[in-house]
């Protein structure tokens, strides 16, 4: 196994990093303060192939690997973890259509998603079923050529635009995972409603709403795969989603470390710059080491997912847990190194802390990541 990136991978990473520096980072604090969802900037990223990173090329995707995606999301998140994280969700939804959709479904929906003419959101979590996703209660009852959807999804990133797409898991059969099916629902469908834009600790640059179904009529042709296959699809999508959000955490942590290094080289105390104090140097060394260790695990898990190996799900869970913990810790430690200035919004450190905190919760909490790993270890 080689730990060196290829020339093409370095070029991909640098392209994403340059885009983050030029088009995301200069606006990140403003987007956060004004709660602006930068759709046009996301479409600029799409024009560079970042809306369907591992979607096949015949529908406009980039046809890259999960490792390539990890490099891209880490680079984008150095500009703003929140914006990068939404793009990762859009990619996950697009991949699910690419992986499980029919030829007609792929050709119908994916080209517009690749351009981000329309955005995609992932609807699994419900008010009463978060970590226990198999207990979801949103129902989809077959009536002729349509399904009638009733229920509510909670904490849906990017939700609220009637022109966008929603990948929705709904119950078509028996209790438990085998009774769940997957649907592509257009936001403008009659009977689809949206809750208020939630007030959140962080992630202010993307909306988060409930998506409510009250007798929503969805064509049967919008179902992905067969009835009862939805939970398997949802879990396979989350493997990659967990890598992506881990990579976004690395990018945010890397940005925090870079800000701390720059600040400490200029801030003086007791006659010298504070980066010359050994105790603070040790803090920086630990931050860099923990981020690098997490990066290695993200790359290892991404390679496993690309190869389709048996333990890929376990590795993705491990990587998500380690990377999101490391990224948040790096941002929190950077705030401490800034002292009182880190608590001020102008320096951008407190934003990184707020944005990265939720990464330890979404795409499966880190406690659930431990449960996935433990079950593999004990053979359950």
Q: Which residues are catalytic?
A: 363
For 334-360, give one letter per residue: b (16+ CB within 10 A) or e.
Answer: bbebbeeebeeeebbbbbbbbbbbbbb
Tell me which DSSP letter residue 314 carries: H
List the beta bridge partners of residue 148. Answer: 141, 217
- Dist. CA 49–CA 24, nearest whole Å: 16
Question: Is residue 107 within 8 Å of 45, Cβ to Cβ?
Answer: no
For residue 106, the Cα-to-chain-centroid distance in whole angstroms is 22
Which DSSP helix (H) or strand (E) runs through 152?
Answer: strand 146-157
CA distance 92 to 220: 22
Distances (CA, A) of 276 to 59, 228, 261, 262, 265: 53, 60, 11, 13, 8
Give the Cα separation of 78 and 248 in Å (integer).
8
């Amino acid at each position: 196994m080689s730990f060196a990136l290829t020339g093409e991978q370095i070029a991909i990473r640098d392209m994403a990093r340059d885009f983050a520096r030029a088009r995301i980072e200069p606006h990140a604090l403003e987007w956060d303060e004004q709660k602006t969802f930068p759709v046009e900037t996301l479409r600029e990223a799409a024009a560079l192939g970042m809306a369907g990173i591992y979607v096949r090329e015949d529908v406009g995707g980039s046809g890259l690997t999960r490792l390539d995606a990890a490099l891209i999301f880490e680079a984008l998140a150095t500009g703003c973890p929140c914006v990068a994280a939404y793009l990762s969700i859009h990619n996950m939804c697009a991949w699910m259509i690419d992986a499980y959709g029919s030829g007609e479904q792929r050709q119908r929906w994916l080209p517009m998603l690749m351009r981000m003419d329309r955005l995609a959101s992932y609807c699994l979590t419900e008010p009463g079923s978060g970590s226990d996703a198999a207990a979801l209660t949103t129902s989809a009852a077959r009536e002729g050529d349509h399904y009638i959807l009733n229920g509510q999804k909670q904490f849906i990133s990017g939700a609220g635009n009637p022109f966008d797409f929603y990948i929705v898991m709904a119950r078509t059969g028996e209790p438990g995972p085998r009774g769940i099916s997957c649907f592509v629902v257009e936001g403008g469908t009659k009977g689809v409603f949206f809750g208020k834009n939630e007030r959140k600790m962080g992630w202010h640059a993307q909306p988060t709403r409930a998506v409510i179904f009250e007798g929503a009529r969805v064509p049967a042709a919008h179902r992905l795969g067969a009835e009862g296959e939805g939970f398997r699809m949802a879990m396979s999508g989350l493997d990659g989603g967990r890598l992506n959000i881990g990579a976004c955490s690395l990018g945010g942590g890397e940005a925090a470390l870079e800000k701390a290094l720059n600040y400490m080289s200029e801030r003086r105390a007791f006659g010298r710059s504070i980066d010359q104090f050994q105790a603070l140097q040790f803090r920086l060394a630990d931050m860099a080491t923990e981020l690098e260790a997490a990066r290695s695990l993200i790359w290892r898990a991404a390679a496993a997912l690309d190869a389709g190996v048996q333990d890929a799900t376990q590795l993705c869970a491990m990587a998500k847990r380690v990377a999101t913990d490391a990224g948040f810790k790096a941002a929190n430690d950077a705030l401490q190194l800034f002292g009182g200035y880190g608590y001020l919004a102008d320096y951008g450190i407190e934003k990184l802390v707020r944005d990265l905190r939720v990464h330890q919760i979404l795409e499966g909490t880190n406690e659930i990541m431990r449960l996935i790993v433990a079950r593999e270890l004990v053979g359950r």
